[in-house]
Amino acid sequence: MIFEETRLRGAYIIEAEPHKDRRGFFARTWCQQEFEEHGLNPRLVQCSISFNLKKGTLRGMHYQEAPHEEAKLVRCTMGAICDVIVDLRPDSPTFKEHLAVTLSAENRKMLYIPKKFAHGFITLEDDTEVFYQMSEFYSQESARGFRWNDPFFGIRLPLEVAVISERDRDYPDFRRAT
């Protein structure tokens, strides 16, 4: 696997290295040893998928507070998303900065999201599926979020939001959420 650290320290874009032959290819998408070598949390306790019918579906911005903070490995297995993360680590030089990455079935890129980051995405195509691997179990008591369009962050999405849950739409701005 190829690990490329982003400008948000600890967040990585990860690409599989395909071994091709006449059948197609084979590639590793997760390896505990390689994650440890890059200083990433290799713990995996839960995997989930999100299937989204319509282009313009927004999910986020979500995170979990202590003691259930989670690292995530996110991959788009069908369709495409604009994946957005926000650094919520108060001691980080990139505190409250965000990064957007296109993940698609075609580019097969993955995004490693460290603990204390918020995460969300908007679908760029109909019938998009996202696969998550998490380091902690989901805890409703620790689940938090803020509005994706909070002016404090200035997140710009590549298209208009067409579908959003009531919960995600009604999250408070980050300043009121903390």
Catalytic annotation, residues: 62, 132
**Alpha carbons 168 and 44: distance in angstroms, whole number:** 26
Place of tokens 């998490």: 134
**CA-wise closest residue to 135 among 55, 35, 38:** 35
DSSP codes, 63-119: EE-TTS---EEEEEEESEEEEEEEE--TTSTTTT-EEEEEEETTT--EEEE-TTEEE
